Amino acid sequence: MAAKLLTRVCGICHDTLLYDTSVTLTCGLSHLFCRNCVDCLLVSFPPEQAMDFACPLCEGEVNWPSGGIDDFPRVSLLQDAGYLKHQLEIEHANLKRELSWKLETIDKRKSDPRINILKQKVKFGYEKHLGLLLKSAIAINKLETRIIPLRRQEINEHVYNYIGNNLKTIYEWKNSPEMYDFEVCEGLSSTVLRPQRKYFYQFSAPIKSIHMQNDRCYLLTVDSDETGSIYQVNYEKDSKPRLIAVKQEVVCMDVCNERNEFIVLLHRWENRAFRVRIEKFDQFHGSFSKFNHHNLKCLLNTRIFSVDDTYVLINNNSVLKKESTSNRLKHVFKKIDGTFSRFINNTAYFIGTNRRVTITDTEDRRYYNMIVPINTEYTSFKSEIIDRLTKGHILLSDTRYIYLLQPQTKKGFAFASEPLFGVSGIVDYVMTKKQVIFSVHVTEKVERVFLLHFDL
């Protein structure tokens, strides 16, 4: 019975499930998800093939129903009166615990002149929603103690209406701008942060690279036949991936120069790098031959960057460079200790073991090693992460940490990524005037990508 009453959450985003937006996958273990996450699954490539995909939790095969997402069964338990009454108790205890923790945290900020105002805001928000739960409990108690008892079906309907609607109100409040201000801006969060918007993507072929732009991102997947597929995701529209190009033997894609004007595609067998303007690439079909290209001998797992006619190739732990006046690739650095993370302003950053970062200047052929300390005085996501990014810090990432470095002073801090984002993976970001968008590329079990939107 106890297992039956455990709170059901989405297996991807971990939000508490509600009946109307719940989905049960037919993966054999019947894993549960919210509609938003299942709706974001890109389940097949190419699209005309049978739409089968792997469950994000158990990798069991799931067939996409002919009638679409609405044909997946909902989670019937979420309508059960006993389950809902138990969730009422759990949520009441959770809100009281969160309120107590937030007030204690605020009291520790003795030098903050806004202590009293902030405490009032927090108390008002939590006490208002605690009152909703109390009203639900009183209403249900009156129903169950009526002199003329109601039929069980009628009681269940009232329970679902009273408790279900109030629980939905509370879950929506937890994702509201008010709670965002408490947890992201003020640092009053004892759990994983809730971004204002979040999206999830899963592809049938391995993800080779992700490139964040101001209004969209591009993803390259490469299947076992070395067919490259390029997808575009617009942040402000429906945020669903759109397949814009499919090409045999395309094994690498990188945004070229500092103005992000080009995409480079690398043919491994033809040894050619093509440069395509992004505005043309969105409508691309057919052969690359009409675009400018350069002959480059490349290896698998090569990353390629370009400014004008100069190319920088990074393969494993080596950095190579091809000048516009030369037909040969020259080694700039060999046997670098670490895995490549980012290339910006002619500088390549590598992350090694024990948070060792190697910074290589491909222009002056100098490099610098540093151990990045873990931040031990975390105040808020906004002040520690977002504000530093707005001030010009560079974000690097491995599967455990994100690193924020000041490029001039070469100083910075490391932050464990899972407590911040809820998952461990390679993190990238783009900053616009209104928001910061993080991508988290998770490679464990079923490979997937999250896009997390934080407003400035």
Closest-CA residue to 40 (of 404, 449, 453, 455): 449
- Local structure of 440: helix, strand or coil: strand
Q: Is the dihedral of CA 151, 152, 153, 157 positive or negative?
A: positive
pLDDT at res. 263: 66
Mean pLDDT is highest, among 51-65, 285-299, 398-412, for: 398-412
Cα(311)–Cα(273) distance, integer angstroms: 10
Return the minimum-mean-pLDDT range out of 41-50, 139-148, 285-294.
41-50
Residue 215's contacts (CB-CB under 8 Å, 6 or more residues apart) are 234, 235, 236, 432
Q: Is the pLDDT score of 47 beyond 60? A: no
Q: Is residue 116 within 8 Å of residue 107, measured between CB atoms?
A: no
Q: Is the pLDDT score of 247 beyond 80? A: no
Q: Is the pLDDT score of 272 beyond 80? A: no
Residue 40's contacts (CB-CB under 8 Å, 6 or more residues apart) are 199, 200, 201, 239, 240
Q: Is the pLDDT score of 162 beyond 80? A: no
pLDDT at res. 3: 46
Residue 129's contacts (CB-CB under 8 Å, 6 or more residues apart) are 95, 169, 170, 173
Q: Is residue 439 within 8 Å of residue 183, measured between CB atoms?
A: no
Cα(154)–Cα(400) distance, integer angstroms: 51
Residue 430's contacts (CB-CB under 8 Å, 6 or more residues apart) are 212, 213, 214, 217, 436, 437
Closest-CA residue to 35 (of 75, 76, 79, 69): 69
Q: Is the pLDDT score of 48 beyond 50? A: no
Cα(52)–Cα(280) distance, integer angstroms: 32
Residues 390-416, mean pLDDT to the nearest whole number:
89
pLDDT at res. 443: 83
Q: Render pLDDT for 30-45 as a digit per residue (tens, 0 to 9).
A: 888 888 888 777 554 4
Q: Render pLDDT for 312-358 as a digit per residue (tens, 0 to 9).
A: 778 767 787 777 677 677 777 777 888 888 888 778 888 888 889 88
Average pLDDT, the chain: 79
- Local structure of 142: helix, strand or coil: helix
Claim: this prediction has a pTM higher than 0.85: no
